């Protein structure tokens, strides 16, 4: 699933590529990806409108229109926003669910292989309501080590589960929760309220550091994530624990342990240096 670095990469690319471009046609071929409203409502609300900004909120890509409305895309597992001039490649074309034709001859497709992601046209008021249900952005200045410490002290859940709770902290999924805990030297199964202030400082640095580093590498591509040009992220080769169960810890050399006990998803850690 695209997490913060992947959606940030997509948003930055599209902001440079389509800002100022006007939508000349809207084609909805798979209406089940529409989170809200109908295909006709999407066409009426976006046809003839221009993109003024593309940005990220949580794991969402938000495309602002000159009406003030927002096209909000949640890629989830296999969703992607792809730009093309002419038809998509044969391996991508069958999975295009929504196509926005632009006034410069290009198309912006929402491609989703499994159609588990969503696209919605939201008014400013509706988007504000939706965004208010989401937690703090981990790369915002307001997200400090002290803020994180307060979040952890208020929960009995495992540290990893708190980091992945989008109502508390947004954008961090399984990959980066694993990596942040390793960088912070913290066992992801620890009860959150047992984390000391000093440990919260180290974990905060791990969260911010791994997200920043992954953005610089344009995200992590294991399976389906692609940027707006169809390219892959490069952060996979810098992963310290995720996907490396049974291999040596890069810090101490001990064999990494993989478990599904915390939340049913893969958790990889070093039992020697993560306490």
Residue 223 has a pLDDT of 64
Catalytic residues: 2-3, 59, 265
Domain closes at, from 132, 156, 173: 132
Q: Are residues 87 and 168 in the same domain?
A: no
Residue 2 has a pLDDT of 87
Spatial distance between the Cα atoms of 228 and 8, rounded to a whole number of angstroms = 11
Domain closes at, from 132, 153, 172: 132
Q: Are residues 178 and 231 in the same domain?
A: yes
Chain centroid to CA 57: 9
Residue 37 has a pLDDT of 93
Whether the CA torsion 114, 18, 37, 89 is positive or negative: it is negative
The whole domain housing 162 covers 145-269
For the chain, how many structural domains are there in total? 2
Q: Are residues 124 and 191 in the same domain?
A: no
CATH of the domain at 64: 3.20.190.10
pTM of the entire structure? Answer: 0.94
Q: Are residues 122 and 159 in the same domain?
A: no
Residue 199 has a pLDDT of 98
Name the token pair of 228.
């707006």
pLDDT below 70 — which residues of the chain?
222-224
Q: Is residue 140 part of a domain?
A: no
Chain centroid to CA 122: 19
Residue 263 has a pLDDT of 84
């Amino acid at each position: 699933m695209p997490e913060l670095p992947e959606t940030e990469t997509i948003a930055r690319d599209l902001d440079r590529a389509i800002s100022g471009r006007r939508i000349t046609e809207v084609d909805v071929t798979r209406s089940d990806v529409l989170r809200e409203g109908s295909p006709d409502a999407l066409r009426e609300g976006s046809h003839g409108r221009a993109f003024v900004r593309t940005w990220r909120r949580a794991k969402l890509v938000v495309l602002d229109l000159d009406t003030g409305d927002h096209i909000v895309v949640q890629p989830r597992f296999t969703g992607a926003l792809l730009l093309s001039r002419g038809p998509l490649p044969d391996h991508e074309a069958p999975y295009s669910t929504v196509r926005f034709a632009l006034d410069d001859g290009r198309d912006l497709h929402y491609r989703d292989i499994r159609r588990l992601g969503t696209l919605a046209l939201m008014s400013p008021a509706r988007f504000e309501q939706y965004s208010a249900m989401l937690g703090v952005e981990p790369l915002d200045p307001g997200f400090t080590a002290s803020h994180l410490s307060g979040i952890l002290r208020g929960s009995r859940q495992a540290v990893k589960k708190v980091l992945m709770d989008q109502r508390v902290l947004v954008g961090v999924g399984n990959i980066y929760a694993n990596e942040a805990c390793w960088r912070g030297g913290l066992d992801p199964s620890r009860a959150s309220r047992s984390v000391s202030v000093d440990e919260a400082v180290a974990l905060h640095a791990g969260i911010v550091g791994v997200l920043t580093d992954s953005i610089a590498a344009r995200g992590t591509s294991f399976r389906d994530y692609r940027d707006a040009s169809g390219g892959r992220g490069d952060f996979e080769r810098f992963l310290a624990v995720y996907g490396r169960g049974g291999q040596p810890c890069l810090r101490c050399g001990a064999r990494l342990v993989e478990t599904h006990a915390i939340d049913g998803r893969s958790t990889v850690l070093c039992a020697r240096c993560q306490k």
